[in-house]
Every structure is written in C-alpha cells, then in structure tokens.
Structure 1
Amino acid sequence: MGSPQPSGSRFGLLTATLLTGVLAAATLVAPQSASAATLTIPALQGGKRVSAYNGQTVVVTGIVTAVRSTGSARGFWIQDPAGDGDPATSDGVFAFTGGTTPSAKAGDKVTVRARVSEYYPGGSAAGGQSLTELTGPTIQSTLSTGNPLPAPVVLDSASIPAAYAPTGSLEPLTLRPTVYAQDFFESLEGMRVQVTDARVVGASNAYDELFVTAKPDENPTPRGGTVYGSYAAPNTGRVKVASLTGSFPAADVGDVLTGATTGPLDYDGFGGYTVRATALGILAAHGLAPETTRAQASGELAVATYNVENLDPTDPQEKFDRLAAGIVTHLASPGIVALEEVQDDDGAADDGVVAADRTYGRLIDAVTAAGGPAYAYRQIDPEDGQDGGEPGGNIRVGFLYDPARVGFTDRPGGTSTAAVSVTGAGGTAALSFSPGRINPGSAAWNSSRKPLAGEFTFQGKTVFVIANHFNSKGGDQPLDARVQPPARPSETQRAQQAAQVNAFVKQLLAVQADARVIVLGDLNDYEFSGTLSTLTAGTGLTDLPATLPAGERYTYVYQGDSQVLDHILTSRALTAPDYDIVHVNAEFSDQASDHDPQIVRVRP
C-alpha cells in the first residue's frame, strides 16, 4: 500500500482507547484563563489559522447548525448568523463535548462558555493544520429555538481559488481566501458549506467517507476521477464528505451526489477539509465497469504486476476468487505476474513463520478454478520481521508464471541474505541465482521489501524480470500540511532503493547491451518523481505509465487523487511494448485490492 496517511480520524473512526492518547497529544493549549471574554465567533476565529484566544475561556453566542451525537468526538457546531463581513474570519466553530451527547439541537440560539483550543488531528508532529474548537463547553442559556440556519457557502469553481497555498509556515500568515484554496477552506472552518451535483473522485471507504470534486473540470480522468499530475497541482477542488445523518452510499468514482450536500466544514487531518453532511445528495450511479485487457497473441509475452494487498490464507475465499478473476478475466492470463504484498502462511500472526506456500497455493488454485493456467511460482522467503508491512505478515514480492508459455531458469543459491549478481560470457548476461534478491544487505532495504530478479525464457529468448515493492509514503506530511510544500521524508529511502535497482540493471546491460529487461511493481511513487528519475538514469529504461495520456496515468486513488504508484519499465531491446493499466479496484468502493494491476505485452 502507498498511502501516506491512514484513513479515519478521531470522529468515530479510531477506538476510544487510542483516541484518549491522540487527543492528549494533539490538542495544544495555553494555560486556561480564570475569567471569560465575551466575543463574537468571527473575533474568536480571527484572520489566521490559530486563534488569538487559544487557551482562554470565552463566551460566544450563535445558532447551532449541526450536532454529532455518536462516537468519541461528540459535539456541536455553532455559527454567527450575521458574521462580521470579513471573508478571512470564519463565522462558525465546533464545540467538542468528547463522549458526552450534546443537549443542543440544530436551530437553537445558544450562549456557550468554553475554553478555546487548537486540535491537531493525528498529533502536531504529523504536520497537518489545526482545528480551532471550543472544549468543555457549557450552554449558559438557550435564547431561542427553531431558528433558520445560516445559508451555506457554495463550494465551486467560482469560489475556490486555483492557487493551492502560500509557501513556508502557514500559521503566522493572515488568510487570503480569495487567493489560495487552503486559505479559503480555512476561512470557512466550522461554517455551513454546500456542494451541488458533486462528482465522486474517491470511492466510499470502510469509514463511510468519500471524496468529491467541487471543480468538475479540474484534471479529469476519462473514467470520472481527478488525476494527480504534479507536486505543484494538488487539485484544489477535492473535498471529503462524511455524513452526520447515519446513512451513507456505496459510491464509486464517477458517481454523482445529485442535488445539495450540505453541512459544517470540518478539518480532520486524514483527508483535510471535510463536509460533515447534514443533508446528503442523492447518489446517481455512473455505472463504472471494471476494465478488461486484450489477450496476448501467440508471439507476445504478457507480463503483469499486481499488488494483492496483504494476501494470506486467513483471507476469505472471496478475496482469492476475485484476485483470480482479475488475473484470468481482466488481465487475460498473462505469461508472468509479479505479485506484491504476499503474506506468509499465517498472515499477521507474529510467530516466526515466513513460508508462503499456502498463500501461493490458494491463489493458484483459485486461478485454475476460474479457468486460468496452472501457474507455477518462484519467490524467496524473507527474514522474519525484516521487510516491513503489517507486523507478522512478512510481505514479499514473487512471480507466477505459466509453464505452458514461459520457462523459468532455476539457479540455486538464492536466499533471503544472498545478493544476486550478473554473470555472463560472450555478450550474454545471466543471473548468478535465479530467483535472486538484489543486494539485500544494503541499508536501502531496511524494513522494506527486497527486489526479486528472475531469469525467464520465452520462445528461446531470455527475459530478465525484476519485481519490486519500494517503501511506502508513511511518515510524509499531508498535502494540506501547515508548512508548504509538505515534507516527504519517505522519498529518501526510495531514492536509495531506485539507485540499487538502477545499478543492477546497468550491470545486466554492461554484459549484454541488448538485454531484455522488465522492471515492475509497486514503486510507491509518481511518474514525475525523483524516484523514477533515479531508477531510469543512464539505463534507457522507459517508464510506461509516463507514455500514457496524462488523464490515464493512475493505478491508485488516494484522498480523491488518481495517481501512479505502480510501474512497468522496459529496456530498449523490448521495442514497441503494448502497455495497459487495467482499472478493476482503485475506483470502486468494493475492492479486491487497493491497487489496479497493469500489463505489458512484448515481442522479445
């Protein structure tokens, strides 16, 4: 998996036990004042991200616009119905009651005494912005009930600026909501907002969240999503939707929430600004269908890569069957399939087991039951606990291949710690071990999967295939970080990993300039990234996702951004490759994996 942050938040998505620690660490306040200042809500919010009244006790009056009465982060939103006329100062604020159900009702006009605090979802160290909120609120009086709610601010192409955010530390800066999208959203924190006929760009997840775009023409994909094509263009129209109504649709990319989706604008750090919908648009299905690629011709070798998302024998048979259908039906039974995230035979049980024979066996059985070939597999068990991923799972990369079409050259000696090398004579390259791991002792692979090189034959010709799963983006700051541009520390290790694979490919080409080489797998980075530049430098490798039209370059959807994380690269000797990303998972609420597979057909 490649997402830099987990989905979910304190708002009913984390356990109460975890929540207690997160809140304690993430809410930063100054010492509480003994007296209380009577303020308007816009004065409380001010024109910056952090309230000037942080840590102080205040009294404010407003209309209750929404109530969250379940989960561990209950509370209510109040809004000044008149405001102060300043677009930089929000007229709304969230009052956090913790596990206590609020007594307030929407439409109540209330006077509230509370302490002002700045809550950093996920903790301050995660790098996200803060949410100004009222903690420990006491309703001093209910002045009236049944009041009309303030009109929502419409989020659309006209209201959201095209520029994303200023650079540097954002907290000291005065908001410029007509200039920067992040300032615009921050200026509406806690206020009622609305999106209309909003297209879904990130499918519904297990936490009853989805992403829509308020800018339907912003970097669209042909299938209804929004493509992420540059660090400089984070797609300003994306906004998360979560419901306060208790019901939520199973939406796929391209579906539309017709009519108005309305509610207070929240910030939770796990997807950024979020409409907590009190009114949810009616889902109109776009009817997006999984794709199917064409079958390989008799003279073609089809090679695919598929991240099977922590597959292990404890998974339900349905997952094996759906992955098998993806291989047989949607990928048309490739000659070779590189797999990522294959777990050991007892999955997440952390008991020293590293073998994965049962995992491969169940998948191969499911493939043959689906009408596919009787694949063989090749892989090397990792050392226990050394390759990252889910603790106890011992994920690894490996190969399936169809012996009826493809040969595998077995050379013994490949172990979890032995480094494969390039041998050869007379201008013909070979591997010292097949399969073999690339320099597994290098610090580049600490707590990360080691690449697996295999020597295959197809119609009398040798093809070298290198399967990869680079380290994830975990630990990177979110796109909406409070310091812009966000820090991406995970790139350092991927650059080291890319350099290792680059050096190995160069060794193959130094022995045999026309070596047929395919590098593929989940590289956890974009086609425009430094990781890919490092990997390809001086090798002549072509990164095939980058050859597609910009709107079609994606294998993964994260927080409404359709993006490339998985790649296939080919050497110069493999001319005119026929490449296809096969969209069967990432755009759908019902997924067999969070990644889409991809395939290349070559004529060696």
Structure 2
Amino acid sequence: MRSTHPRSAAIAALVATALATGLLAGSADAAEGAASADPVRIHDIQGTTRISPLAGKQVTGVEGIVTGVRTYGSRGFWMQDPDADDNAATSEGIFVFTSSVPTVAVGDAVKVNGTVGEYIPGGVSSGNQSVTQISKPAVTVVSSGNALPEAVAINEYSVPAEYAPAGDAAAGGSINGLTLDPSRYALDYYESLEGMNVRIGTSRVVGATDPYGELWVTVKGWENTAKRGGTLYGSYESQNTGRLQIQQLAPLAQQPFPAANVGDKLTGTTEGPLDFNQFGGYTLVARTLGEVRPGTLAPEKTKAQAPGELAVATYNVENLDPSDPQTKFDNLAKAVVENLASPDIVALEEIQDDNGAKNDGTVSAEQTLTKFTAAITAAGGPAYQWRSINPENNKDGGEPGGNIRQVFLFNPARVSFTDRAAGDSTTATGVMTEKGHAALTHSPGRIDPANPAWTDSRKPLAGEFVFRGRTVFVIANHFASKGGDEGLTSVHQPPVRSSEAKRLLQAQAVNGFVKEILATEKNAEVLAVGDINDFEFSGTAKALEDGGVLYSAIKSLPKAERYSYVYQGNAQVLDQILTSPAVKNFSYDSVHINAEFSAQNSDHDPQVLRFRP
C-alpha cells in the first residue's frame, strides 16, 4: 500500500545526494561541516529560496510553538516562530523530523537542536521540490498550552494568478536557486508558507476523496470551472493556481476521512500546517478539518443510439480480472447498460488475464470476458461477443502478471465483426484492397507490434466491423502511461514530461496506419479510440491528427465538458475517440460516472460516439 508520507530514515544520505548534485544552495559551506553555536530563527533557516542557506549545518536553540504533530508515516512535528520578520519570502514554520512518535503537543513552546536538511519526497530523480527540515533533533519543552500563531489565510485574493517562474536554464531548469516572489507566483507563495500554520475557508471540492484520505479543493471558485463543478486543465499553461490538497493529522485508523465528490463543499475553517509531499505537492495537513456539505452530482447517462446510428464506446475498466469482487463486474456491467445505453461496439482497456496479477505465464482472458459479458446480460444488456489478441507474457506493461490488453465487445444483433485471418501477438495487420475497398489483412490484428514504440506497452488492436452494410474500422488503443513524468509542482519549471516521447512515437504509428487505410479508400470510416493517456492539446494528439486523417472528437464538446479523468484536482482528457473525415455529423459524450466520485468502479470516464455510417 502506498504510504501517504513516505520518508526515509536516511535523511543524511538524501542530503548528501542533493549536495553532490548541486541541489542545495550553500553546499560549499555545508561541506565544510562547520557548526554554528549561535541560536538561529526559523526564518533564518528557511531563507529566501527553496533551499536553506544552513542546509547541512547544526543549529541550536531554535525556538517555536508546536502547530501540528504527526504520529504516523513521516513522524515529527511542525513548529512556528510567532515573531515573524518583515520578509514575505521567508517562512516562519518548519518540520522537525523525529522518526519516532513525537513527545510534544500542539501549543508547546520548544527549543530544538538538530541538523538542517532538505528532504526530497520521492528522491532526487522524482523532480520534486525539497522540504526544509530539522532532523536528529534534541527537543526541550519550555512551556505548554500556548496560543498558536495566527493562521495565514489562503484564498483567492492571496494566491497569485501566475503559477511558477521559469526555471534557471543554467541550472537545468531548476527554480531552487531563484529568490521567492510570493506576490507574483503561486508556487512561490505556497513555498513562502512551507511549514506554517495556514487556513482556508469554505472551498469547492475539485478532486474526490481517495483511498489514502486525501481530497483536493480550490480556493478560487471561478478558476477554469468545469460544468459539473471541477477545475479544468485546458493547457500546459493552465495550472489552476487555487488547487490545494487536503489531508488530516489524525491517522485514518483513528479518525475516518470524510468522503467527498467533486462539486461538494468543504465548509467552515480547515486549518493546519502546510506540508509538501510526494503525491500532490503543497498540502494542508488539517489539525482542524471543515465539514463536507454534499452537492447534487450524480453519474451521467448518455442517450441511446437511434436505429440507424452506430454507437462506439471506449472504457478503461481498471485491471479487471476474475479475482475482483462480483460487485465490480456487476457495477461495470450496469454502467455499460444503463449509463452508456449498451453501445454497439465497446473497446475495453485494462482487461487482465484469467488470474490477474498472479505471474505464472497465463495470458488468456477468456474467464475475465466470460464473467464480464455474463454480468452485462444479467444487467439487461445485449449478449456481447468479443474479439481480442492475447499478449505475450509480461510484454505489454501494466501490473506484472496481469497482461492487460484491449478487447472489442460488440452486439451481434446490431453489428457484425469481419473475421479475417486473425493475427497473433507478434503478427502485424496490414491494409489491402478487396472489391475496390480497404480491408485489413488480419482482423482482429495488431498494428506494427514489432515497432519499438510498443515495447513494454499495449499494442493497438484493429478490427473490421459492418453496420447496415457499411464497413467501419476501429482501432483500440492504450498508450504508454505518464509514469516517470514530473508533477506540476516540480523543482523544474516547466516540469519534465519524459513519457511524452514514447506516446509521440505510438501516435505516429497509429496515424501512419490510418493514412494507409485512407490511401486505399479515401472515404473509409475509421475510429481510433481508447486510453490515449494524453491531453487533447498535447503533442500526442497532434501527431494522431497529423495530415487531417483523424480528429479528436472530444474537442467538439464545449470546453467545460472536456475531461475524462481527474488528477490532483485537475479535470483533464486522457480518453479519446478520434474520427476520420468520412465520419460526419456525429454526437459525442464524455460520460462522467467515475472520475468525479470517491466511490469508483474505474478511475476513468467512458466515452461514446454516435454516427450514421
């Protein structure tokens, strides 16, 4: 299970690594190991950049009032100097890492001796910013029951509109060495409050409660608002500065975290120290947590296709395998029938093999699909048939042993599948001419599976369907994930998005295949569908659309409805259906049934397109 606050006990080793890589300012001084016997203030430790000028040094007699105590995960406490300086760039709060359960209490006045360090959640390779802290502390409680420093109000007026400064090119794009400008940049503003006691008022939830006891709010209720209450991520420059992650100081085992959906309100005052963690960046760790006031959000239902319309859907069902509870199968099936109105063709992503993550060489998914299609029939849906190609064992990425793959479901009462020399995991399908029309050499077949673009990734599945005498080509995709990309709060600005390179190659391969079809038959109707794992404005999408052979149909929706996934409070597009020019007069629906809700059957929202071939 993921630790909410993973923190290695080997803080000194991390600091040494950061020193060696030049991440810590003043590293030459720190390397000398000179210790200062003079008491210093917290704002002296924090300094005016992200890196402490005292990193690596010993400090003594650092005074503060304890504002929060964490007894789980990364154990320690926050303290704050109530006597602030007049420099807005210097934080008055700091985390003291004790490694064991702290013996102090909120309201204690303490003096701390210890080593100043810069802890990087996730390690240097993550690209995350560091947290200035004191480790290996000797703590003296001077008095108890003191009033806490007044919390700084974070609101729409205090958070700047610009997200982050551009990184220093000479430092590899890092913002570490830049003097904080909290009146101009949101990331600088949050950094200037690192470790301090902060509060927010009533705020809209823009990221539903997750299994780790976290939710996201926005303190800017007007910022890029989605139709259903979220906050849209519409471009690489639209970072949504008002987003803030909320956790609580109490362990989940002692105090359950409230369940909230997008559009709900976190009411009243939420107050506590401002932390920075690996899985979301700046986080208000609530000592006092507001109450969730539920909104009216409900899962959407798309309209049914007309008799002459072909309905094609894509749905990532999140690692579905026979060991999952029957309730997951039933809920996913109910969604296909009731929320998606039983599409004629459904491209599924993340169907696992018959024993899921058990890594024993099994690659067949017959049991998974039998169980799922039976659940759909039991929910009142059609008796779907399926077509797929088993992957080579552990060659398509995803959960080891799971062997995820794409699958076509189709309703034989409405559409037929053209079986044509079905390919295998390593055989590429091609395009040929049959009776003057384009046809696949293998249906179902994989597109260019030997291409290095698909190494350790899902290979596209192509199929030929016939609806009312018209052939429609469908390509089911699941592009490489964003794993390895730096977060929006990265120390590098703009963040490094290393995973894009692979998706770009994948998009070029699919685009090239569509061009082959259209070169053979100009007016062929082609749909490229699936979990593209990238935005509609991304280079991946542009590569898929190259030459005008495909169009990302989600762009036909109003901007406030363009999303299929919610990540760190950003409603964004990952799932897409792209159409060739001959697919005209279509209707498109991103059917929001999962991503906005704390209770999910998948973390993706399915997409449906209807048109008349």
TM-score range, shorter chain: over 0.9
The CA deviation at 1:517 is 0.6
**Aligned residue in 1 for 2:203:** 198
1:257-288 Cα deviation digits (max 9, x unpaired): 10001100000021010000000011100021
Alignment check: 8 A CA contact 2:511 2:549 kept: no
Distance (whole Å) between structure 2 residues aligned to residue 413 and residue 361 of structure 1: 20
Amino acid at match of 1:37: D
How far did 1:322 drift? 0.8
Q: Residue by residue, what CA displacement relative to the aligned partner does 1:88-107 show, whole Å, maximum 9, x if unpaired? A: 00000000111x11111111
Partner of 1:64: 66
Q: Which of 461, 466, 470 is matched with 1:461 structurally?
A: 470
Mapping for residues 145-294 of structure 1, pairs under 5 Å: 145-168=144-167, 169-245=174-250, 246-294=255-303
Identity %: 55
2:22 maps to none
CA contact (8 A) 2:45 2:53 kept: yes
Given residue 55 of structure 2, which amino acid in structure 1 is its aligned partner? N
Deviation at 1:572, TM superposition (A): 1.5
2:208 and 2:13 map into 1 onto residues whose CA distance is 32
User: 2:9, 2:380 → 1: CA distance?
Assistant: 51
Q: How far apart are the structure 2 equivalents of 1:20 and 1:409?
A: 59
Aligned to 1:297: 306
The 5 A counterparts of 1:580-599 are 580-599=589-608
Q: Quick one: structure 1 residues 24 and 320, their matched pair in 2 at CA, closer, same or farther if it must change by over 3 Å?
A: farther
Measured in 2, the distance between the counterparts of 1:426 and 1:352 equals 42
Residue identity matched to 1:86: N
Tell me, in whole angstroms, the C-alpha distance in 2 between the residues paired with 1:209 and 1:435: 42
Q: Which residue of 2 aligns with 1:4?
A: none
Distance apart, 1:247 and its partner CA: 3.3
- C-alpha deviation, 1:33, in angstroms: 4.5
Aligned to 1:576: 585
Letter in 1 for 2:205: V
One-letter identity of the residue aligned with 1:105: A
Query: Contact between 1:556 and 1:563, CA under 8 Å: does it hold in 2?
Result: yes
- Give the total of aligned pairs: 590
In structure 2, the residue matched to 1:74 is 75
Distance in 1 between the 2:434 and 2:449 partners? 25
Write out per-residue CA displacement over residues 225-266 of structure 1, whole angstroms, 9 at most, x where no aligned residue: 100001011111111000013331011101111000110000
Alignment of 1:276-355 (within 5 A): 276-355=285-364
SS across alignment from 1:319: helix
Q: Confirm or deny: 8 A CA contact 1:420 1:431 kept in the other structure.
A: yes
Give me the whole-angstrom Cα distance separating, in 1, the residues matched to 2:93 and 2:261: 31
The structure with higher relative contact order (CA 8 Å, sep 6+) is 1
CA distance in 2 between partners of 1:434 and 1:413 (Å): 5
Q: State the AA in 1 paired with 2:151.
A: P
In structure 2, the CA distance between the partners of 1:344 and 1:24, relative to structure 1 (3 Å rule), is: farther
Letter of the structure 2 residue corresponding to residue 302 of structure 1? A
- Residue 3 of structure 1 corresponds to none
* 1:43 aligned partner, one-letter code: D
Give the whole-Å Cα distance in 2 for the aligned partners of 1:90 and 1:74: 21
- Report what 2:542 is aligned to: 533
Inter-partner Cα distance in structure 1 for 2:546 and 2:146: 65
Quick one: structure 1 residues 348 and 333, their matched pair in 2 at CA, closer, same or farther if it must change by over 3 Å?
A: same
Are the aligned partners of 1:342 and 1:396 in contact in 2 as well (CA < 8 Å)? yes
Aligned-pair RMSD on alpha carbons? 1.5
CA contact 1:36–1:56 (8 Å) conserved in 2: no
Report the alpha carbon displacement of residue 195 of structure 1 after superposing the two structures with TM.
Answer: 1.0
Q: TM-score, normalised by structure 2?
A: 0.94
Counterpart amino acid of residue 55 in structure 1: G
2:303 aligns to what SS in structure 1?
coil
3-state SS of 1:456 partner: strand
Contact 2:265 2:294 survives alignment (8 Å):
yes
Runs of at least 5 residues in structure 1 that lack an aligned partner in the other structure: 1-6
Three-state SS of the structure 2 residue aligned to 1:240 is strand
Partner of 2:392: 383
What 5-or-longer segments of structure 2 have no aligned partner? 20-29, 168-173
**In structure 1, how many angstroms separate the alpha carbons of the residues matched to 2:12 and 2:35?**
23
Q: Hey, what does 2:609 align to over in structure 1?
A: 600
Q: Secondary structure at the match of 2:162?
A: coil
Deviation at 1:142, TM superposition (A): 2.2
SS at structure 2 position matched to 1:546: helix
TM-score, normalisation: structure 1: 0.96
The Cα of 1:571 is off from its aligned counterpart by 1.3
User: What residue identity is the alignment partner of 1:486?
Assistant: P
| CA–CA separation in structure 2 for the residues paired with 1:20 and 1:468 | 42
Q: Report matched runs for 1:399-414 at 5 Å.
A: 399-414=408-423
Instruction: Give 1:435's aligned residue.
Output: 444
Query: Residues 136-173 of structure 1: CA distance to partner in whole angstroms, max 9, x if unpaired?
Result: 1111x322211111111111110000001111121111
Equivalence for 1:142:
141
Whole-angstrom CA distance in 2 between matches of 1:346 and 1:331? 28
TM-superposed deviation, 1:326 = 0.9
Verify the 8 A CA contact 2:474 2:526 in the aligned structure 1: yes
- For 2:563 and 2:385, the matched residues in 1 are separated by 29
Cα pair 1:8 1:270 within 8 Å, conserved: no
- How many angstroms apart in 2 are the aligned matches of 1:489 and 1:142? 47
- Inter-partner Cα distance in structure 1 for 2:391 and 2:586: 32
Aligned to 2:47: 46
1:365 maps to which of 374, 383, 406 = 374
Structure 1 position 534, deviation (Å): 0.6
1:366 to partner: Cα distance = 0.6
Distance in 2 (alpha carbons) for counterparts of 1:54 and 1:553: 45
- 1:189, 1:173 → 2: CA distance? 16
Which amino acid in 1 is paired with 2:46? Q
